[in-house]
Chains A and B, each alone.
Chain A
Amino acid sequence: MNSVGLGLGMDTPWGSPRGFQTSVGPALDHFLAKNGEGFEAFFFSFQKRNYGALRTQDYLEAFTRLHQQASEFAGLINLHHTMLNLGSTLPYNREQIIQVTNELAEKVPFGWINEDVGIWFLEGKSVPYPLPPVLTESSLRYCTRTIKQVMQELHTPLSIEFPGITDGASFQVGHLDLFEYFADLADGTQSLVTLDTGHLLGWEWMQGRFNDEMYRHLETFPYDQVVEIHMAGSESKNGAFIDRHHGLLLPEQFELLDFLVPRCRNLRIITYEDPKFDLHGNLIEIAQPSLKKLKENVQKWKNKSLLTFYSERIH
């Protein structure tokens, strides 16, 4: 098992003090200055700045600045894409998106680029929450080809993420099981993989699988391909799962993390995703216990991997 580090992942919309304005927004700037230390990896999101054509120069300055700032505490910086539309089976021209991504990555290097395998644009129209791919054999074949193609064209490794499932904005089309579909996709593309504990719980709970039944179902997966696990704020309401991204982690997410980490032998990062903070850059008080608990958990896994490393050397 590799040594696991703690990561920080930020949603960085344009026009927000918590994301990008002309450059890094002031609240985000304060947050990183106050809280960055202790995080070994960092990702931010690549969202469209406006409704116009995508141009490298519109993003370069802000990305460079944020990258420099994050490099002061993190040794690994990644990009969370939102435009690759990897789960769609409709015609979608990625040429300009990939070109701009490669141009940005040349100036601002990333360890890997990840995106949830979902339908982010349906017939060219953005949707309120990315939909899971259509769960059919033909869609699986199509998405496998798409992802292989994107992997070839991107100059940075791609990590595919298990798509988000949330009560009130997600529904299923097709008969296959999303977890098994995603396992086949990971195996078929040999891409790096990101798992999100909330997204997994969202799907499993939606299918009525809880506790032991859920864990039995999650047993078979190409876990060796997993490099990152996301922990984003979530809520549980009468058995329904809501992907809130508000910084508060559920006990079920920590239980799932304990299940996943020993199986993911190439895991590099456990990421606290989308912390909520005020304009002065202070993490909101109610989220602080979640971050503290996550830090303790990551330390536990770090210690275990060190023990494994030394015991293997002794024997």
Chain B
Amino acid sequence: MEEQKLADILFGADPLKDPRLQSDSCFAATNHKQFGLFYARQLKRVEERLSQQFGACMALFDEGLGLSPAQVAKAFTCSAEYRQVREDITDLDMTSSARFEIGFLNFVLRTQEDQADFLTEFSDLYLRELAMDLG
């Protein structure tokens, strides 16, 4: 289905260079500039959500690994973990907030596997923030 194709492209590795945008007939009328602007907004939205939900942990990416929140958001949106995230309420077994959080934590664990110091610092900070949230 075309909408599934669109999601595959938008949440894929490099949406703006995805060959399906050029070759697939359902995208023949798609304005690539407008698609790019939409994608930029989508990334910004994910970046804002990550900053809102993970606060200081996001700053740690910058300090520890030289990765800006925008770069982290970009990598996360094309990850397998993000594909499993639902922000709507159609999954009733777990709240979408928890699902988003677990998805991101899994993404961090998988992608930073070889950065032991960073992971230690990240988990310390995350647990400290979590403890503060729980009061």
Q: Which residues of A contact B (CB under 8 A)?
A: 48, 50-54, 83, 85, 88-90, 92-94, 96-97, 119, 121-129, 131, 134-136, 138-139, 167-175, 206
Contact = CB atoms under 8 A, between A and B. Distances in A.
Contact of B88 (A92, A135, A167, A173): A92
Interface string B95-110: 1110010000000000
B27 A90 contact: no
Interface string B22-33: 000111111100
29 contacts: A48-B89, A51-B96, A51-B100, A83-B89, A88-B3, A89-B1, A89-B2, A93-B90, A94-B90, A96-B90, A96-B92, A119-B3, A121-B87, A122-B6, A122-B7, A122-B10, A123-B11, A124-B85, A126-B87, A128-B38, A135-B29, A168-B34, A171-B31, A172-B31, A173-B3, A173-B30, A174-B29, A175-B25, A175-B26
Interface string B63-88: 00000000000000000001101111
A83 B6 CA distance: 20
A216 to B, nearest CB: 21
Nearest to A94: B90
A129 B95 contact: no
A89 B6 CA distance: 11
Q: Which of B4, B6, B41, B90 has the most CB of A within 10 A?
A: B90
A175 B28 contact: yes
A139 B37 contact: no
B42 interface: yes
B128 interface: no
A124 B26 contact: no
Contacts, number: 119
A139 B5 CA distance: 13
Given A167-B34, A173-B30, A128 B44 contact: yes
Contact of A175 (B29, B31, B91): B29
Contact of A172 (B1, B30, B86): B30
B97 A50 contact: yes
Contact of B7 (A52, A90, A170, A172): A90
A20 to B, nearest CB: 18
B119 to A, nearest CB: 26
Given A48-B89, A92-B90, A134 B42 contact: no
A127 to B, nearest CB: 6
A70 B54 CA distance: 39
Contacts of A93: 90-92
Contacts of B85: 124-125
B97 A51 contact: yes
Given A168-B37, A174-B26, 11 more contacts: A50-B97, A51-B96, A53-B89, A90-B4, A93-B91, A121-B87, A121-B88, A126-B45, A134-B3, A134-B6, A169-B41
A53 B88 contact: no
The 5 closest A-B pairs by CB, nearest first: A124-B86, A51-B97, A93-B90, A128-B41, A171-B34
